[in-house]
Amino acid sequence: MSFDFQGIATQFVTHYYTTFDTNREILGGLYRENSMLTFESSQSLGAANIAEKLANLPFQKVKHEFATADAQPTATGGIVILVTGKLLVDDEARPLSFSQAFQLCQDPQGQWFVFNDIFKLVFG
């Protein structure tokens, strides 16, 4: 591979969760009009709809603790990332397990953005 996909993935995941946990209203900038989010089986298409969905989630405080961020390059020069971790919501004592998959692509200016985003809580 001609680029450090694992390094880019690690930087992205760290930035994404830090931003989500401190100011999730601005996450829309990481998406484009053709991006799709599936959050607990509910789909949102486009940066504005995704930003609205993330801003209106039913909790005030959140902290992501990601354990793994496995990455692979795609055939089209993007990156697929699978994240697993724990989610602390509001003042709940017990963290929730989650997994999240991202597909990152580059726009014509070379900026990485989220093309696909699938989030799921893991129970059991």
Number of domains into which the chain is organized: 1
Amino acid letter, residue 52:
E
CATH code of residue 48: 3.10.450.50
pLDDT above 70 for 114? yes
On whether the CB atoms of residues 36 and 116 are closer than 8 A, the answer is yes
> Residue 55: which domain range?
5-122
pLDDT of 13-46, one tens digit each? 999 999 999 999 899 999 999 999 999 999 999 9
Confidence class for position 101, pLDDT limits 50, 70, 90: very high
Backbone angles phi, psi at 12, to 5 degrees: -60, -50
